[in-house]
Amino acid sequence: MSRRLQGRAVVPGRAEGVALVCRQPLSLWGGFNPRTGEIVDRRHEQSGQVATGRVLVLPRTKGSSTGSACLLESIRSGTAPAAIITAEVDAIVALGSIVADELYGRCVPAVALDAEAFASLRDGDVIAVAPDGTVTIGEPPC
């Protein structure tokens, strides 16, 4: 059985993947390796996990606007998440994805959810993101 949440499409697009849920903010510059897609911040709860092709769920990014360049590089190199869901509109994510769309014709869809909807997402959920900001959560694979 699936359920739907309505979010705000910050960067419209369609994507699907298994959720990688972070309850802590993440710095894309210094905490995420754009060459491998790995979360490399050793103090982060998801340290060592690879976000490539997954739906990265995080409350927000933190740190420098250089994080946009790291997301941009991961999109260029094919190691980016399939989509990013945040608990608030995140300008760093939006900028990196929009610039990638302009430069490479590829973007990472980004959706902002309200706090209650965001809190309902679980690691391993199968998530589909639609261009209008609809987030559909399916059953995790067996």
How distant, in Å, are the alpha carbons of 31, 58, 65, 112, 136 from that of 45?
A: 11, 11, 22, 21, 25
**From the candidates 2, 47, 64, 65, which is the catalytic residue?**
64
**CA separation for the pair 55, 53 (Å, rounded):** 7
Query: Is residue 97 annotated as part of the catalytic site, yes or no?
Result: no
**CA separation for the pair 75, 106 (Å, rounded):** 7
Instruction: Give SS3 for 25.
Output: coil
Instruction: Give SS3 for 66.
Output: coil
* Angle, vertex CA 22, rays to CA 54 and CA 7, nearest 5: 70
Catalytic residues: 64
